[in-house]
């Protein structure tokens, strides 16, 4: 009895080779500078657009590459291996647009997905607020109906790529007192009157991706820019995260792979006590554990991506919520452990900015926090198991 080989389709392996070559040539050389200056790497964005890797998930009918969820994971993973900040270009474009793919009218999809696919605009996601992080349903941002328009007031916090993105999926309360059922989703444009941005957050990592407040002061937008029906915004937000937590897992995988690759190369070259550091059994055990944790997280992430793809095409996956939370949690925890061990393997050099692993360790930390902390992910998983 024979079984087919459990492996990625050939086109996915070819995609990985293509993205890795691009990342090695155009992205990795800019990673340290983007981290040091905290400036968004526009040249990297242009390189990703030229290769059609900036928003690969956008369907072909809107001018996109139409890549499946697994291909999108591979793109994000390989970009993150070189530069975590840059990997947020394809990842956040997906985060901002999935609500449209799930719930928006055809008019809204055509209007906003096409410019993203062409590389003319990026799309961010505005859910969290200063007092509504893990408890996102406690948001205070309001959208008040005014004829055939809505007027938005409030401030969204921790918004990735705020200021550089042209478009924002914004969640706001349209029916006060109704809780999660009183929240609706809207597309807000950077150019809308009354939209402004807070100062850049001073962060531990992912410094090449700006994180800022999105401030809404009497922002008047057409009602046609609502995503889905009134009161369905929070449901859309949660459904979106089922798909996009997987992209954070992908980012974590890439950061961890970059750290592992560098550490392996270093210990093979570095000599102590007359032999390569890699010859010491204690070091070998560390390397083995790092690779084992990474590969386990990768398999879980790819399985979650496959479920996401089926769900996006109308085949409900009852365990998608569990798998997406598990992938994000496992991959980000592994990334934090692996990057920390990589710093340890480089010793004193690992602690300096002359080597990339300290940046990777700092970048890895956020993957345990955003799109739902890993404590929240464990709550989500437990609820799925116990219901």
The residues annotated as belonging to the active site are 371
Cβ neighbour number for residue 252 with a 10 Å cutoff: 36
Q: Which of 113, 131, 134, 130 is nearest to 122 (CA)?
A: 113
CA distances from 309 to 11, 246, 284, 333 (A): 16, 11, 37, 24
Place of tokens 């992209």: 247
Q: Helix 320-346 vs helix 374-386: angle between axes, to the nearest 10 degrees?
A: 150
Largest CA distance in the chain: 79
Backbone angles phi, psi at 290, to 5 degrees: -60, -45
The alpha carbon of 158 is separated from its chain's Cα centroid by a whole number of angstroms, namely 13
Say if residues 359 and 339 touch (Cβ distance below 8 Å).
no
User: Counting Cβ atoms within 10 Å, is residue 202 exposed (0-12), middle (13-18) or buried (19+)?
Assistant: exposed
Say how many Å lie between the first and final Cα of the chain, rounded: 39
Cα atoms in the Cβ-side hemisphere of radius 13 Å centred on 381:
16
Contacts of 119 (CB under 8 A, 6+ apart): 45, 46, 49, 54, 55
């Amino acid at each position: 009895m024979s079984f087919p080989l459990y492996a990625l389709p050939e086109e996915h392996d070819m995609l990985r080779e293509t993205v890795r070559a691009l990342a090695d040539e155009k992205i990795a050389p800019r990673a340290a500078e983007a981290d040091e200056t905290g400036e968004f790497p526009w040249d990297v964005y242009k390189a990703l657009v030229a290769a059609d890797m900036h928003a690969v998930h956008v369907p072909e009918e809107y001018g996109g590459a139409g890549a499946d969820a697994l291909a999108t994971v591979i793109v994000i993973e390989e970009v993150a291996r070189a530069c975590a900040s840059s990997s947020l270009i394809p990842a956040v474009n997906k985060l901002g647009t999935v609500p449209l793919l799930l719930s928006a009218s055809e008019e809204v999809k055509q209007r906003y997905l096409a410019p993203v696919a062409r590389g003319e605009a990026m799309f961010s996601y505005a859910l969290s607020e200063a007092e509504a992080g893990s408890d996102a349903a406690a948001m205070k941002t309001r959208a008040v109906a005014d004829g055939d328009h809505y007027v938005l007031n409030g401030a969204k916090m921790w918004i990735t790529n705020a200021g550089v993105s042209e478009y924002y999926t914004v969640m706001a309360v349209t029916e006060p007192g109704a809780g999660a059922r009183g929240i609706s989703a809207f597309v807000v444009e950077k150019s809308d009157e009354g939209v402004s941005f807070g100062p850049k957050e001073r962060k531990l990592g992912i410094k090449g991706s700006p994180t800022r407040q999105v401030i809404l002061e009497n922002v008047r937008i057409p009602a046609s820019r609502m995503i889905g029906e009134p009161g369905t915004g929070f449901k859309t937000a949660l459904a979106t995260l089922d798909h996009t937590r997987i992209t954070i897992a992908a980012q974590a995988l890439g950061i961890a792979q970059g750290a592992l690759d560098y550490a392996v190369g270093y210990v093979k070259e570095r000599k102590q006590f007359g032999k390569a550091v890699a010859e010491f059994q204690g070091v070998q055990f560390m390397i083995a554990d790092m690779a084992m944790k990474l590969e386990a997280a990768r398999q879980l992430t790819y399985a979650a991506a496959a479920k996401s793809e089926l769900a996006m095409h109308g085949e409900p996956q009852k365990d998608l919520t569990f798998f997406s939370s598990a992938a994000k949690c496992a991959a980000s925890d592994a990334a934090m452990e692996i990057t920390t061990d990589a710093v340890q393997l480089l010793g004193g050099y690992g602690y300096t900015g002359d080597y990339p692993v300290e940046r990777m360790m700092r970048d890895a930390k956020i993957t345990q926090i955003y799109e739902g902390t890993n404590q929240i992910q464990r709550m989500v998983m437990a609820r799925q198991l116990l219901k």
